Amino acid sequence: QQQVKQSPQSLIVQKGGISIINCAYENTAFDYFPWYQQFPGKGPALLIAIRPDVSEKKEGRFTISFNKSAKQFSLHIMDSQPGDSATYFCAAVNSGNTPLVFGKGTRLSVIA
Amino acid sequence: DAGVTQSPTHLIKTRGQQVTLRCSPISGHKSVSWYQQVLGQGPQFIFQYYEKEERGRGNFPDRFSARQFPNYSSELNVNALLLGDSALYLCASSFRTSLNEQYFGPGTRLTVT
């Protein structure tokens, strides 16, 4: 049972463009939604996270948009750069100690 | 500050063997979690330990076991290895029992032949 559905599976964006990755969740008890960035041969790195009491969070070029009623959240990468090329995972957790549930990942390629 | 460290980096084992993977959390972090990441998939939760006690277990067979030591480092053991156990094994640490804000190590790549 996949509790977090992520799309698209892969994404190619021109340098300077906007990368958008979407996730949908089922469990309304989730209360923390992080995004992780993973480069080949490395572990996932926490990128940005949001709680459901806000609709948007921005850190530099990275923005999370959150729609509680639709049970969806998305990552926007503004001014995408070749160095952003990596696999991105959305995740969700209930802070009452359920484990992190990850999406299947999106492989982003930013081309010059 | 050192991040989460894991050893070994790579490991090749044959079916039926046993393996032990090691993890040292970020200094001051008391919780360690283990994840299995199969190629092309997101990490799957195996165990969480906090203050040397198991706090959570994912849907993995009893061949998987773990423990946490007084210095908060941890070991993951897998017995009777199967080909399907080939994966990247990730360790993540966090300050509290909450699984928010986990920080992952680089992983151990296990290949079972």
Q: Is A35 on the interface with B (CB under 8 A)?
A: no
**Nearest-Cα residue of chain A relative to residue B6:** A43
Nearest Cα neighbor of B29 from B10, B49, B47 is B49
* Dihedral angle sign, alpha carbons of residues B2, B6, A84, B42: negative
Residue with tokens 């992983």: B107
Task: Grade residue A95 by pLDDT with cuts at 50, 70 and 90.
Answer: confident
Q: Is A1 on the interface with B (CB under 8 A)?
A: no
pLDDT for the residue numbered A11: 97
Question: What is the rounded CA–CA span in Å between residue B26 and residue B95?
Answer: 9
Query: In chain A, which residues have their Cβ closer than 8 Å to the Cβ of B99?
Result: 93, 95, 97-100
| Inter-chain touch B101–A46, beta carbons under 8 Å | yes
pLDDT for the residue numbered A41: 85
Residue with tokens 């959150």: A66
pLDDT for the residue numbered A23: 98
**Nearest-Cα residue of chain B relative to residue A1:** B59
Nearest Cα neighbor of A69 from A58, A56, A57, A55 is A55
- For residue A83, the 8-state DSSP code is G
Say if residues A94 and A103 touch (Cβ distance below 8 Å). no
Q: Is A5 on the interface with B (CB under 8 A)?
A: no
Minimal Cα–Cα distance from B17 to chain A, Å? 24
Tell me the C-alpha to C-alpha distance, in Å, between residue B25 and each of A37, A44, B50, B81, B105: 19, 15, 11, 26, 8
Query: In chain B, which residues have their Cβ closer than 8 Å to the Cβ of A89?
Result: 42-43
Q: Is A64 on the interface with B (CB under 8 A)?
A: no
Task: Grade residue A75 by pLDDT with cuts at 50, 70 and 90.
Answer: very high
**Residue B85 backbone dihedrals phi, psi, to 5 degrees:** -80, -5
Q: Which two tokens stand for residue A76?
A: 């926007």
Tell me the C-alpha to C-alpha distance, in Å, between residue B73 and each of A4, A48, A58, A82, A110: 30, 26, 34, 36, 38
Q: Is A100 on the interface with B (CB under 8 A)?
A: yes
Per-residue pLDDT of chain B (113 residues; tens, 9 = 90+): 679 999 999 999 999 999 999 999 999 999 999 999 998 899 999 999 998 899 889 999 999 999 999 999 999 999 999 999 999 999 999 887 666 788 999 999 999 99
Minimal Cα–Cα distance from A39 to chain B, Å? 10
Q: How many CB atoms lie within 10 A of CB B28?
A: 9
pLDDT for the residue numbered A91: 95
